[in-house]
Amino acid sequence: MTFAVTSPVTGSAQTGFTTPTYTVGADVAPTINGKQWAVSAVSGTGNTPRVHSISDPFTITMTRAAVLKQLPAINSQTGRYGSIPKNTHVILVRKGVNYAANQSPETALARLEISVPAGADAYNPVDVRAMLSLFGGAFAQCSAGIGDTAVTGVP
């Protein structure tokens, strides 16, 4: 898997976070098909989010499909493929958040699921990459707005 987070990670702008930087270190992913990093320091945010601990996680994990799927055989009678399986990969960020005074943190989740039809990786990689390029650029461009919506509920 070529997903490799390098430290420090420059975070995208958020309301109240001017130039966020996250120091990360390799961690053990919950599955053999994943890679994980834990946040050990935060700077430049204007606010002070808590770093990773067992009871208050702050991690990013990427997990690839457990079993990589391929295209099935073409139906000899119709000349078409049946249902096309998808290879699903997940990027998951876990962050402990407080929801009330005198309570233990609860874990908030941000999950990106990437499902690519089997065969597209070889036959049409440019469009798979274009999909992810647009997603990454739009997310970076709208990061503060997405954060505002997650906090205020106003799209």
Contact 63, 31 (CB under 8 A): yes
Domain boundaries, the chain: 9-118
- What is the pTM (predicted TM-score) of this model? 0.86
Q: Which residue has the tokens 């039809």?
A: 117
The per-residue pLDDT for 125 is 92
Q: Give the amino acid at 87.
A: N
> 57-113, pLDDT tens digit by residue?
999 999 999 999 999 999 999 999 989 999 999 999 999 999 999 999 999 999 999
